Structures are given as C-alpha cells and as structure tokens.
Amino acid sequence: MSKMLRKQRKWLTVTLGFTSLLLFYWLFFSNGLPVYWGPSASAKDIAAGRELFEHEWTPNDPLAHGDGLGPVFNAKSCAACHFQGGLGGGGEISHNATAFEILPRPGKPEMECGTIHNYSIDPKDKESFTVLRKLFPVNRAITTTRSVEMANCPPTIQRTTADFDPLRTISTQSSAIFGSGWIDLISEKAIVQNFRRRSFQGLTQELAMNFDGVPLGRLRTLPDGRIGRFGWKAQFATLEDFTATACANEIGLGTPIKPQACSVATKAKPEVPADLDKKQFQQLVAFVSTIPRPVETMPTDAKTATSAKHGEELFAKVGCTTCHVPDLGGVKGMYTDFLLYSLDEPLPPGGGGSPYGPAPLPEFPRPEGEPPPSDWRTPPLWGVADSAPYFHDGTADTLHAAILRHNGDAKSVKKAFADLPPADQQAIVAFLETLKAPPTATALKDMAVTKLPKKK
C-alpha cells in the first residue's frame, strides 16, 4: 500500500511540476492564442451598424435617445471622417482635430486633456484656441522674496520664475480603421512578448557594444493594467473603447460606456440619456469590427512588381520592420508593434525648440504612464497606399516624404533609407503602394455624406 502511495505522490509531483512549467512558460514566454478566425457578427447587426456609421446626425435626431448631434462636434457622421478607399478609410486633413493638453502647474497639479471642437450647436459653446487661451493663460514671471536667518547669508533670497505656458496643442487626423476587428482579437501576450523580445535583442546588442538601431519602444499600459493598441497614443485597449470615444468626441453622441463631450468653453454637461442605447452601440461596434482588413496587391506590370518585391526586402533590410512588424499574434500583414516611439529629436537643454510647445515645470512632471507629446504609436501600414496624407498630423503628402519625416527613435532607419540609391528608395515606395485598402470595403452610399465647411 505504501509503495502505491509513494508512486501516486511521485506522479502527482511530476504532474504539478510539469503544470508549473507550462504555467511559467504561458505567463512569461507564450504569445497567447493566435488569431485563427476573424471577427464576425450577424448580417442584421452589421447592416444596422452600417446605417448608424453613415447616418448624418442632427440635433434631437429621431435615431437618438438623447439630444442627438453635439453639443460640440467635428463631423455629423462617422463616414465623414472615414471614407478613403471605402468605409473605414482615413479622412481629409482639412477636418483634422486639435487635441490639447494643460500641463500641471502651481495650484493645479493635475493634467487636463481634451479636444478643441470645430463646431457647436449653441454659439455659446463655440470652441477655439482663443477661448482655450483665455481659460488657460500664460503664467507670467514672478519674483518671490524669502527672509532667512543664517550666518554669512544675505537677509533675503529672491527667486524669479520664467514665463510658463501650460497649454499645448497638436493637430491629429482621423486614421484608417480597416481591419480593426482583427487587431482587437490579438492577444495582449503577443504584444508584450514582442516587446520583451525586442528588449532582449537590444540588451545583447548593447553588451556587444554594436547597437546602432532603433531604441526600444514603450508599451502603453493603461491605468487598469490593460495594454493600449488603438489611437495615435495607444490610449485605448479595445475597439469598443475606441468607438465610444470617437462617438463622444467627434459627433457628440453619448453611449452606454462614454458620455457625450461637453464644451470646454462652458463645461456644461447636458443631463440627457445616452444617444445610442446598448443595442445600437453593439451594432455600431459590430459593423466597425467587421470592416475587412487590407490586402497586399501586387501590380500587374512585371517591372513594377519586381521593383515592389525588391522594395519589400529593402524595407526589412534598412530596419523598417523593427517597428512595423509584418505579422503579430497570428494576424499577417499589419506592419505594427503597437509600441510608442519618439519621432522628434531630443529637446535641447531647457526644453526649448519643441514642436509641441513648452516643457513641463520640473516640480510638476508629467504623470507617470502619460506619454510625452513626441511619442506616437506605430500605425499599422496595411492599406497605407490609400490613406494619404501621412503621419499623425497629415504633414507628409507622399510615402517618400513620410519616411524622411522619421526622426528621434527612427533616425537610424531614416538615414539608412536616405543613403540608398534613388531606384532602391523608389522600390520601397513601390512596395508600400501594394498595401491597398480592402477591395471588399463597403462603398459610401452614393457618396452623399455632407461635408462640413473647412476649418478656418
């Protein structure tokens, strides 16, 4: 009996040890479950979601359960900003949104963020940089005097602070959301494991004293512990969060998980029900999640196709795939790692010269986990051929210009590209031009969406 008991204990120990090893591997080395099947939803929900996506909202809209459009907004429909190459593409630079940050400062140690909306229902809610400046003026230099009672010291000490502007603004454009449902399905482990792999590679290169590539990017870990993957700052962990915030900020539609945006001018929050009820919001997310993913389409001309294939090899050789990882988590052809990288040169001493405005005061640093304004998420490149202009602010008109716009963490890749012969540079562009919008993307109904006047 004791022999049998010892045998059972032995097998139990072996089983527990093996299970512990599997758990350890799963926690620290596994990429998680790969994505084998894409997002799905019923045809009925997708059709209803498409109607909501294309619908032009109005104040007190009959489809809304609240007050409809506004009170502040940038567009009257989702389709107005997502149409290039079909529903789900990027938008026009003329309707860029202006994001702002209010830096921590004396008496106001918290940081504030928001959007300057281009339009409002009520004139008193009208937002502009002028309105924002009045609310958050420059803190002018002040001189403080402090008395001291110490030997060999002057009786008073004076300290003069410099002018401090707490306001930062940056223009951002609407990005393509093709294939977002596939991105939503990627395991967080795949993103984290790719980050760890890069970290290990960077460490070994540093130890070998031959590191001259792209510095390791930064994971965006949200306050609740989830990993960000959507948005220019990777500020959203799920497509549902991203969609709810877009509804609230861009159209002023409240949803079950996000109230409508209120005017920065009045800060008046209307006491109204959510504009989209739970069913409507789920239908909208169903449509957005099933927008097809882009495809790589080789040109029919043999010479151009050969150049594009050569460009794909060069794309990896010069280091572009360090950040624009082709395949991740079982989803192929995305070309992103979802990490944050700085795309500008480090600030000179004193923090001057930043294209994003003033540096924080030393005694009021940026909150931990809040990325600096120069950090941007690596955008997926699938569909990039149909999403000009490029970069978060749309300042690069062409793919060639977009590559040369890389600085900061990516300056070594930019240099490697710039050192190539013109024919090789064009080959890389030819490869990027094969990353097309999905041919099955839904066309905008009759192209009938009313476009708002351009922002002045």
pLDDT at 98 over 50: yes
Give me the pLDDT at residue 240, please: 98
3-state SS of the chain?
A: CHHHHHHHHHHHHHHHHHHHHHHHHHHHCCCCCCCCCCCCCCHHHHHHHHHHHHCCCCECCCCCCCCECCCEECCCCCCCCCCCCCCCCCCCHHHCEEEEEECCECCECCCEEEEECCEECCHHHCCCHHHHHHHCCCECCCEEEEECCCCCCCCEEEEECCCECCEEEEEECCCCCCCHHHHHHCCHHHHHHHHHHHHHHHHHHHHCCCCCCCCCCECCECCCCCECCECCCCCECCHHHHHHHHHHHHHCCCECCECCCCCCCCCCCCCCCCCCCHHHHHHHHHHHHCCCCCEECCCCCHHHHHHHHHHHHHHHHCCHHHCCCCEECCEECCCCCCCEEECCCCCCCCCCCCCCCCCCCCCCCCCCCCCCCCEEECCCCCCHHHCCCECCCCCECCHHHHHHCCCHHHHHHHHHHHCCCHHHHHHHHHHHCCEECCCCCCCCHHHCCCCCCCCC
Q: Domain residues of the chain, as ranges? A: 43-122+170-447
**148 has a pLDDT exceeding 80:** no
Q: Which of 42-51, 71-80, 145-154, 184-193 has the lowest mean pLDDT?
A: 145-154
| Residue 208, pLDDT score | 47
**Across 383-387, average pLDDT:** 94
pTM, 2 dp: 0.86
Question: pLDDT tens-digit profile of 236-278?
Answer: 999 999 999 999 999 999 999 999 999 988 887 778 999 999 9
> Measured in Å, how far apart are the chain's first and last C-alpha atoms?
89
Q: Which of 42-56, 124-138, 198-212 has the highest mean pLDDT?
A: 42-56
Provide the pLDDT confidence category of residue 355 given band limits of 50, 70 and 90.
low
Residue whose token pair is 């006047």: 453
Q: Give the pair of three-digit tokens for residue 342.
A: 């700085």
Instruction: Check residues 374 and 143 and name the one with the higher pLDDT.
Output: 374
Across all residues in the chain, what is the average pLDDT? 87
Say whether pLDDT at 7 is over 90: no
Confidence label for 367 from pLDDT (cuts 50, 70 and 90): confident
User: What percent of the chain has a predicted confidence (pLDDT) above 70?
Assistant: 82
Q: Residue 334 pLDDT > 60, yes or no?
A: yes
pLDDT digits 0-9 by tens, 166-193: 999 999 999 999 999 999 999 999 999 9
Position 135 pLDDT exceeds 60: yes
Q: pLDDT band for position 125 (50/70/90)?
A: very high
Residue 297 or residue 12, greater confidence = 297
| pLDDT of 223 over the 90 cut | yes
Q: What's the CA gap between 84 and 158, in Å, rounded?
A: 59
pLDDT in tens, 188-209: 999 999 999 998 876 555 544 4
> Which of 5-9, 97-101, 263-267, 269-273 shows the highest mean pLDDT?
97-101
Q: List the single range of 84-98, 241-255, 300-314, 340-354 with lowest mean pLDDT.
A: 340-354
Report pLDDT digits (tens) over 284-306. Answer: 999 999 999 999 999 999 999 99
Task: Round to whole Å and give the CA distance between 76 and 55.
Answer: 8
The pLDDT, as a whole number, for residue 352 is: 47
Q: What value does the CA radius of gyration of the chain take, rounded to a whole number of Å?
A: 26
